[in-house]
């Protein structure tokens, strides 16, 4: 049986089609946006993970340095090397 669509039926089908296509389009745009945000967050996470590793290394170095600075002999040697302090009777000669 062949059934002809009336004008009213055609309009209804057209309206439902437009609404469906619009909803699918909005859904796809939303999915693309979320994927883009996830990609950005993933890159940020990688950057900050690397930054955290660097800061932990620096923290370990500084902890060792603090321990060394508790030793008066190390402090004296460090001051002589870095700031050209000298003991009595010593001469500082810097060679570059």
Domain that holds residue 15: 7-83
Does the model's pTM come out above 0.85? no
Q: How many domains does the chain have?
A: 1
Domain-located, residue 51: yes
Domain-located, residue 37: yes
Q: Please tell me the predicted confidence (pLDDT) of residue 56.
A: 98
DSSP letter string, the chain = ---PPPHHHHHHHHHHHHHHHHHHHHHHHHHHHHHHHHHHHHHHHHHHHHHHHHHHHHHHHHHHHHHHHTSHHHHHHHHHHHH----TT-------
Domain-located, residue 88: no
Mean pLDDT by 10 residues, the chain (96 residues): 74 96 98 98 98 98 95 88 77 73
């Amino acid at each position: 049986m062949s059934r002809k669509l009336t004008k009213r039926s055609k309009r209804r089908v057209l309206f439902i089609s437009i609404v469906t296509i619009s909803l699918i389009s909005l859904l796809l745009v939303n999915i693309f946006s979320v994927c883009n945000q996830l990609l950005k967050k993933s890159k940020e996470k990688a950057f900050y993970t690397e930054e955290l590793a660097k800061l932990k290394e620096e923290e370990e170095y500084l902890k060792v340095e603090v321990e060394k600075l508790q030793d008066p002999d190390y402090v004296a040697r460090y001051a002589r090397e870095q700031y050209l302090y000298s003991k009595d009777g010593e001469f500082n000669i810097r060679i570059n």
